[in-house]
Amino acid sequence: MEDKKANILPESCPMIGGNDSYNYAHNSRYQKGAVDAVKEMINEAIAEKLDIENLTLASLNPFRIADLGCSVGPNTFIAVQYIIEAIELKCQAQGLNSCIPEFQVFFNDLVTNDFNKLFASLPADRRYFAVGMPGSFYGRLFPKASLHFVHSSYALPRLSKVPEEVVDINSPAWNKEKIHYRTATKEVVEAYSAQYAKDMESFLSARAQELVCGGLMALVIATIPNGTLYSKDTMVELLGYCLREMANMGLISEAKVDSFNLPLYIPSHKELETVVERNGYFSIERMNPLNHQMKQTTPSVQMSVLHLRAGIGGLVKEHFGSEIIDEVFDRLTKKVAESSFILNPENRKEIDLFIILKRKSN
């Protein structure tokens, strides 16, 4: 099952807020590249797939949009702006100029997200009513049939939790010494894969209740081609190496390293299609690779590590304590700098997919 291991590149990390220089707002250029790349795709999807006239009859006004896993901005604001402009454009194109709805936008992230920062940086010239919605998108967040459009960009590699087996010392899937499934045993990979399938089923079932029939969901999800083989030279692998090194030096406990696993998962295309089809509430209207500019460039070592830290620094801090976090990422920076492999764009195996799902009629 070695071929099922995924290569978590920094761009696939979930986002965290906060006020320090390691936060997402400061280190989200890669995602910004993706947001720009999806602009045209969102435009096309709304032009071709959103049935404005029928939705109008049901409950188009106000038009409710949710961004799931929004972090603290600014990319969430840019994405929302693109969605609203595309809908306005469509209304105009259909001669429904006078019927352009009011927009209400729900910015969602975990309750630990810095919503104060998000609210303080809301664009002053926004043409929508903005609200913050704290909570896990693996559960219900919104009333039934109350949303028209859901957007989520790079939030879905984050699992609802680390699979229990991989931190259970008595389980065959115990992931000793490692912090992820990538180079782990078959049992660990299967535990992660099962958790992913379960989480996605929860995600899709919750959204199926919340979206009106005909409502759209635009997702940007990092995936790996089916059957990909991976090198061990990835940043997450090196991070695990740094942690073990620090345990060997007695700076952190070995047991702590053994019990630390990242709740992240990059599915294959096939896995993703399978969970959507098994769920049954959505049709896949579009599934395109997203080739944005930043994908072809070689990022600097420092920027890459900052990016990873923005994504998972909080998890490391929570598990190991804040006093060691600088040293962990300093060590990682040195290790990444020594590798000519990791940051070379030619060695990236992931493909970011832009996906449009449509809520089927009941």
Pick between residue 49 and residue 135 the one whose CB is nearest to its own copies.
135
Q: Tell me the closest approach of the beta carbon of residue 139 to its own copies, in angstroms.
A: 11
Q: Does 289 bind its own copies (CB under 8 A)?
A: no
**Residues forming a β-bridge with 283:** 358
Q: Does 133 bind its own copies (CB under 8 A)?
A: yes
* 8 Å CB contact between 74 and 120: no
Q: Does 130 bind its own copies (CB under 8 A)?
A: yes
Q: Does 172 bind its own copies (CB under 8 A)?
A: no
Q: Distances in Å between the alpha carbon of 4 and those of 80, 98, 192, 220, 310?
A: 34, 52, 11, 21, 26
Pick between residue 149 and residue 230 the one whose CB is nearest to its own copies.
149
DSSP-assigned letter for residue 14: -
* 8 Å CB contact between 179 and 236: yes
Q: Does 202 bind its own copies (CB under 8 A)?
A: no
Q: Tell me the closest approach of the beta carbon of residue 9 to its own copies, in angstroms.
A: 30
Beta strand pairing call for 211-223 and 147-153: parallel
Query: What token pair was written down for 95?
Result: 């001669």
Query: What token pair was written down for 164?
Result: 């229990």
Tally the C-alpha atoms within 13 A of residue 350's C-alpha that lie toward its C-beta.
29
Pick between residue 63 and residue 329 the one whose CB is nearest to its own copies.
63
Q: Does 123 bind its own copies (CB under 8 A)?
A: no
Determine the Cα–Cα distance for residues 276 and 226; give it in Å rounded to an integer.
16
Pick between residue 115 and residue 149 the one whose CB is nearest to its own copies.
115
Q: Which of 1, 93, 120, 229 is close enough to bind its own copies by CB under 8 A?
A: 120
DSSP E strands in 272-321: the ranges are 282-289
Residue carrying the six token digits 């947001």 = 35
Q: Which of 21, 94, 129, 277 is close enough to bind its own copies by CB under 8 A?
A: 129
Q: Tell me the closest approach of the beta carbon of residue 6 to its own copies, in angstroms.
A: 32
Q: Which of 29, 32, 39, 140 is close enough to bind its own copies by CB under 8 A?
A: 140
Pick between residue 267 and residue 314 the one whose CB is nearest to its own copies.
314
The DSSP line for 27-87 is S-HHHHHHHHHHHHHHHHHHHHH--HHHHHHHH-SSEEEEEET-TTSSHHHHHHHHHHHHH
Q: Does 106 bind its own copies (CB under 8 A)?
A: yes
DSSP-assigned letter for residue 111: T
Proportion of the chain in helix, strand, coil states, percent, rounded to 5: 45, 15, 35
Q: Tell me the closest approach of the beta carbon of residue 147 to its own copies, in angstroms.
A: 11
Pick between residue 170 and residue 362 the one whose CB is nearest to its own copies.
362
DSSP-assigned letter for residue 360: P
Query: What token pair was written down for 43?
Result: 């435009």
Segment near its own copies (CB under 8 A), from 100-108, 169-177, 192-200, 214-222? 100-108
Q: Does 62 bind its own copies (CB under 8 A)?
A: yes
Q: Does 61 bind its own copies (CB under 8 A)?
A: yes
Segment near its own copies (CB under 8 A), from 78-86, 108-116, 157-165, 178-186? 108-116
Per-residue buried b or exposed e for 58-72, using 16+ beta carbons within 10 Å of the residue's own CB: eebeebbbbbbbbbb
Q: Tell me the closest approach of the beta carbon of residue 136 to its own copies, in angstroms.
A: 13
* 8 Å CB contact between 295 and 353: no
Q: Which of 111, 125, 169, 340 is close enough to bind its own copies by CB under 8 A?
A: 111
Q: Does 206 bind its own copies (CB under 8 A)?
A: no
Positions touching its own copies (CB under 8 A) are 61-62, 102-104, 106, 111, 114-116, 119-120, 122, 129-134, 140-144, 146
